[in-house]
Amino acid sequence: MLARFFKNWPLRRQIVLVIGFTILLVGVVGAEFVRTVERDTFEKNFHYQTEKLVAMLSATSLDAIVSEDRPVLQTTIQQLLENDKDVVGIRVINEYGETLASWYSVEGNLPASADSTIDFAHDVTLEGEDFGHIELSWNVDKQRAEINDHARKIYLYAIGISSILALIVLGVINSLVISPISLIHEQLQLLQANKATGTLDIAASRELMHLGSTVNELGNVLELRKQKEIELEEASKAKSEFLANMSHELRTPMNGVLGMLSIINNSDLNPEQRQQVSVATSSGRSLLTIINDILDFSKIEAGKLEFEEIPFDLVQLIEETADVVAESAYKKNLELICEVDQDVHSTVIGDPTRIRQVLTNLSGNAVKFTNDGEIIIRVEAAYGETSADRLRFSVSDTGVGIKESSLENIFQSFAQADGSTTRKYGGTGLGLAISRQMVEGMGGCIGAISKLDEGSQFWFELNLEKVDRPATEEVDVDFTGKRVLLIEANDSARSHVERLMQAHNIEVHSKHSVAHALSQLREAAKTDAPYDLVLFNAQLSDMPGEVFVRCIEADPSFDNVKLVPMTYVTQQIEVLYPHHNPRIHAQISKPVKARELHQVLVTSIFSHVKAAEPTVADDEAKLNLYSKIRILVVEDNPVNQAVALGMIENIGFDVDVADNGREGLDKLAEEHFDLVLMDCQMPVLDGYAATRELRANEKDGEHKPVVALTANAMTGDEDKCLAAGMDDYLSKPFEPEALEQKVVTLLADVISDLESDEFKSPMQKAA
């Protein structure tokens, strides 16, 4: 209650009130005590004097009372009244109760109230015999007035002395307590405001001096922290600049590597060469993933990681993820399987780039820590969840496993489940930390299940909204009645491929080994129920794939058997390529993908049917349309120039190049271009300044689309490009499909006009 009353009061006011009230109360109590003592003393003295006076009166009046001499008694009373004016009444009574003499003051001299008088009575005795008594009444107003006046003086003295004491005490407390506390408070306020302050000098009690010393130490700590923050800010700025430069320096040659591989892949290659290019591309993308991990970690630390919400093909994403780690998996003879449950919707809305990155990290770790066995990448519905769009992604392996006590720390930055594994397996310890941040940023959760020496399963769950599937491009073929013999030793891989083919109503017979498969083929030939296709793993323990093919070729009863090997990306066996062996109808890469398998089944079982592809006429129309679109590439790096020119020419656009921003502006002034691909960092005039100058020189209604083509991929780079007046942003290295999509999107109106122009008559065109 008291604390609530004093709540939010200044300390000075509280001390003044408490101490002042206490001293004043002590003074008042002391004054009241003195007054009471004085009053009691007066009353005792008054009674004593009255008793003495009455006793003397009775002694002098004894004879007159005994003789009842009334005149003498009256004279005695008059003498008493002359000596003491405060007597207001006297009466002398004999032993029989008769009044012998009496006197009472006139009415004007009577006391104001009965409380103002004191009555006394005294017996008149002689040798123990009672002869009567005397009654006496006193007026004590004067005495009491004197006592009250004396008490008032005592109160005034007490209040004065209490006030002086209170001021002295308050002055001492103010000097020793309040002022030091105020100084400490002011110092803390300055520290809170982050203002420079001096050393606090406190001369007070030991406790307050210790508190002042603590505040000084706090100030020193905050000053050191301030300096540290400045240093950290400078270090962070330097790190950001370093990462930005590193990003640019790494992405520039990566753009050349991946760009040239893309150009080579679009040239006339045989399947063997195309597979070699695919391996090189996969390795380059793996290196790019590491670069992206480092950059993403810096974005996560800065809290600037952003997520997309776009439709994407989930099956395609899983298969592409498997392709990224396939080479490293098969180098270790690991079986890699990617499965998407049939009840999972193919097209969903989310951030495919981040999901692919998380899956790639988890799959890469699985390959790294698995020496034999298999790795399964799976997507399934998250059963038990209330959301129908909840999907569970998992990567399971048969690797070294993780101790249960280490599972809690594996998602921390730069952490390894076992530090000793770093030397053996390598790694930065960033992958899982980045994966956790990304999954949680997308509103999901991530975890791991593992047993030491038995393998691990890393999983994460996300809510991905379903969208209607786009129209399928697959050829609608009825496989009913078709029979396929599957040769696969790995149980998981065999079951996966079986499910894919059974989904097309294909009758599948599977064998673990070539020996059993040959026996099955001979039995089928005898019963006149041959298989339409033999799908076999090119790497089997009992017989290599090329030996199996020669066995088939050597037996005339197998002349009509169609062979399709399932090969690893690292395998380059000449006899297993269709262009080297006519018995090989197609080749499919592992891990087996649903759409690729469907296409292979169509082209192999139904040789006269081909998968849906754009017709030659459609290609020619598209190339004819694209050839009318002129693109200017403003780029100073010769390698990047060659990459951009090669990609754009392969797409079909008409392209020219400028070495810097100034040369690019000059070309734009002299020639017509529909779109500009602008590098940002160039000599003479960089892309930002060139774009700003281009925008400043444009007339009303004019707008030349400009796409930033830059190796900068840090947070804020895209905003910087857009702020300079560019229309879009494309980070190096980039895929031809992404480049084509940007151009088509920005030039939609131009392409529409060109398409309309195709249908105009010659006279309309001339007009």
pLDDT of residue 485: 93
In the chain, ranges of CATH 3.40.50.2300 domains: 483-605, 616-766
Residues with Cβ within 8 Å of residue 252, at least 6 apart in sequence: 637, 639, 640, 711, 732
DSSP string across 469-528: PPPP-S-----TT-EEEEE-S-HHHHHHHHHHHHTTT-EEEEESSHHHHHHHHHHHHHTT
Place of tokens 């009654």: 135
What is the C-alpha to C-alpha distance for residues 641 and 635, in angstroms, rounded to an integer? 6
pLDDT of amino acid 439: 92
- What is the residue-wise DSSP string for 264-328? HHTSS--HHHHHHHHHHHHHHHHHHHHHHHHHHHHHHHHT------EEEEHHHHHHHHHHHHHHH
Confidence band of 611 (pLDDT split at 50, 70, 90): very low
The mean pLDDT of 670-686, rounded to a whole number, is: 92
What gap in Å lies between CA 15 and CA 230, rounded to an integer? Answer: 43
Distances (CA, A) of 566 to 71, 405, 535, 555, 588: 160, 40, 7, 22, 5
Helices 11-60, 70-83: axis angle to 10 degrees equals 150
What rounded mean pLDDT belongs to the chain?
Answer: 79
Q: 3-class DSSP state for residue 1? A: coil
Residue 545 confidence (pLDDT): 84
Question: Where do you find CATH 3.30.450.20 in the chain?
Answer: 11-160
pTM: 0.55
656: enclosing H helix or E strand: strand 654-658
Minimal CA–CA distance to 247: which of 286, 281, 292? 292
Mean local confidence (pLDDT), 559-575: 78
Q: How do residues 257-286 score in pLDDT, each as one tens digit?
A: 777 777 787 777 776 677 677 767 767 776
| Spatial distance between the Cα atoms of 243 and 291, rounded to a whole number of angstroms | 10
Q: H or E segment at 675? A: strand 675-678
Strands (E), 57-165: 87-94, 99-104, 117-126, 129-139
> Boundaries of CATH 3.30.565.10 in the chain?
307-466
321, 377 Cβ separation under 8 angstroms: yes
Q: Which residues contact 207 (CB under 8 A, 6 or more apart)?
A: none
Confirm if 350 and 388 have CB atoms less than 8 A apart: no
Q: Edge-to-edge strand order for the sheet containing 483-487? A: 507-511, 483-487, 533-537, 563-567, 588-589
Q: Are 571 and 590 in contact (CB under 8 A)?
A: no
pLDDT single digits (tens) 318-344: 988 888 888 888 888 899 999 998 888
Flag the least confident range among 1-5, 110-114, 593-597, 750-754: 110-114
The whole-number pLDDT of residue 460 equals 94
Please state the rounded mean pLDDT for residues 554-574: 80
Tens digit of each residue's pLDDT (9 = 90 or more) over 44-60: 877 777 777 777 777 77
Phi (first) and psi of residue 640, to 5 degrees: -65, -35
Please tell me the distance from the alpha carbon of residue 408 to that of residue 599, in angstroms, as a whole number: 44
Which pLDDT does position 348 carry in this prediction? 92
Angle at 557 between CA 554 and CA 558, to 5 degrees: 65
Lowest-confidence segment of 303-317, 441-455, 691-705 by average pLDDT: 303-317
In sequence order, the β-bridge partners of residue 448 are 458
Kindly state the average pLDDT of the residues 191-220. 74
Fold designation for 11-160: Beta-Lactamase (3.30.450)
Residue listed under structure tokens 């066996």: 573
More confident residue, 411 or 634: 634
pLDDT band at 766 (very low <50, low <70, confident <90, very high): very low
* Residues in a beta bridge with 393: 379, 460
Number of C-alpha atoms within 13 angstroms, CB side, residue 55? 6
Label residues 642-672 b or e (16+ Cβ within 10 Å = b): bbbbbbbeebbbebebbbbbbbbbebbeeee
Which residues touch 479 (CB under 8 Å, ≥6 apart)? 504, 505, 506, 601, 605
User: Which CATH number is 616-766 given?
Assistant: 3.40.50.2300
The confidence score (pLDDT) of residue 727 equals: 93
pLDDT of residue 488: 92
Q: Which CATH class is domain 307-466?
A: alpha beta
CATH architecture of 483-605: 3-Layer(aba) Sandwich (3.40)
Which of 214, 115, 166, 155 has its CA nearest to residue 34?
155
Rounded CA separation 251/714 (Å): 12
CA–centroid distance for 432 within its chain? 17
